[in-house]
Amino acid sequence: MNYEISLMTTMAISVLFALSLNLITGFCGQISLGHAAFLGIGAYLAAMLAKAGVPFLLTLPLAMLLAGAVGTVVGLTSLRVRADFLAITTMGVGFLFVGIIRQREWLGGELGIAGITGSNMSKLGYMLFTVLCAILVMALCIYLRRSWMGRVFNGIAEDEDTMRVLGINVPRYKLAAFAIGTALAGLTGALYAYHFQYIGPDSFGFVESITVLSMVVVGGIGSVAGVTVAAALLSALPAWFQFIGDYKLLVYGSLLFLMIRFVPDGMAGLVRRHLGKRRAEERGK
């Protein structure tokens, strides 16, 4: 049972992380290849604070604040560069983060930080807490998408210049997307640190950033339900693939490729098309 609880917590953390990127990339159309850096910022801050004896519930908002603040600064770059240039810039931010962490002795350097004190909750309690966080963030995302802000995000994703012509303050909304998305990533990072009780620079590198991006794309970019399901499935996949041991990543990579190659609009698109076909058939009758 312990294993299932731990797996469930990991899945909830992945869902949170994927939803936070979906806000930036899915809703607002700003590609980020360095999102793991914000997970890392949250995780490192939480780890340091936990070691200093700061209570669990206080570290979460602090992690959000710091990650969100750094995220806003990184978001400034999205005002300067667009699309592919932005993708590469954010990738650079990711490498910069890992590079800085690696050379800081007081952040554990290459070895990372081990023995992070837990959250004082039971394993089951902690799982329920992370799942609750995931549900709240899902609700927030659904609310956001229907709000005025969500509509502007969508407009920016579709066609930034038109939004500008319409008199929308595009930079402000882009920064808002980055601030909210990265703050949520910071929260996820703090939950991550308390869950695994060990963090190292390798957990927040480029691989992590593209894994989360692939969750978003496989789920169907912008779709809250799709991204949630994809993140839960993809994070559990390696655990289910344990039996193929050595070939785990080979299968993961191939699946990712085949999935995107044959279903480019992700699971959400697949479901939508399927439903659309059924509805058309019913109408035809």
Partner 1 sequence: MLLVELFTQGLVQGSIYALIALGLTLVYGLLRILHVAHAAFFTLGAYVGILVCNASGSLILGFAAAMATAGCAGVITYRLAYEPLLDKPPFVALIASIGLYIASEEAFRVLFGAQGISFVDPPLQQQLLLFGTIRLKMAELLVMIGSLAIIFVLSRLQNGTRLGLACQATVSDPQMAESFGISLRLVRDLNFFVGSALAAFAGVWVALLNNLVEPTMGSVPSYKALAIIVLGGLGSVRGTLAAALVLGVVEAYGTIYLGKLLDRNAIAFAFLILVLMVRPQGLFSRR
Residues forming the site for partner 1 (CB under 8 A): 25, 31, 77, 80-81, 83-85, 87-89, 91-93, 95-96, 98-100, 102-103, 206, 210, 213-214, 217-218, 221, 246-247, 249-250, 252-261, 264-265
Phi, psi of 211 (to 5 degrees): -60, -45
Nearer residue to partner 1 within complex by CB, 104 or 146:
104
**In the bound complex, what is the minimum distance in angstroms from residue 51's beta carbon to partner 1?**
24
DSSP character string of 122-153:
-HHHHHHHHHHHHHHHHHHHHHHHHSHHHHHH
Nearer residue to partner 1 within complex by CB, 14 or 214:
214
- Which tokens belong to 77? 């770059």
**In the bound complex, what is the minimum distance in angstroms from residue 260's beta carbon to partner 1?**
5
**In the bound complex, what is the minimum distance in angstroms from residue 31's beta carbon to partner 1?**
6
**In the bound complex, what is the minimum distance in angstroms from residue 170's beta carbon to partner 1?**
16
Nearer residue to partner 1 within complex by CB, 143 or 247:
247
The length of the chain in residues reads 285
Nearer residue to partner 1 within complex by CB, 91 or 232:
91
Query: Which residue, among 104, 107, 77, 100, has the nearest Cα to 90 in the 3D structure?
Result: 77
Q: Find the farthest-apart pair of alpha carbons in the chain and give their distance in angstroms, rounded.
A: 70
CA dist list (Å): 99 to 106, 107, 112: 14, 12, 13
Nearer residue to partner 1 within complex by CB, 34 or 194:
34
**In the bound complex, what is the minimum distance in angstroms from residue 256's beta carbon to partner 1?**
3
Going 259 to 240 to 216 to 266, the CA torsion angle's sign is: positive
**In the bound complex, what is the minimum distance in angstroms from residue 97's beta carbon to partner 1?**
8
Nearer residue to partner 1 within complex by CB, 186 or 201:
201
**In the bound complex, what is the minimum distance in angstroms from residue 251's beta carbon to partner 1?**
8
Query: Which residue, among 283, 102, 83, 99, has the nearest Cα to 200 in the 3D structure?
Result: 102
Contact 228, 19 (CB under 8 A): yes
How far is the C-alpha of 213 from the C-alpha of 90, rounded, in Å? Answer: 12
End-to-end CA distance of the chain: 49
CA dist list (Å): 88 to 82, 153, 190, 193: 10, 21, 26, 27
**In the bound complex, what is the minimum distance in angstroms from residue 69's beta carbon to partner 1?**
18
Query: Which residue, among 107, 86, 105, 106, has the nearest Cα to 40 in the 3D structure?
Result: 107
Phi, psi of 14 (to 5 degrees): -65, -40
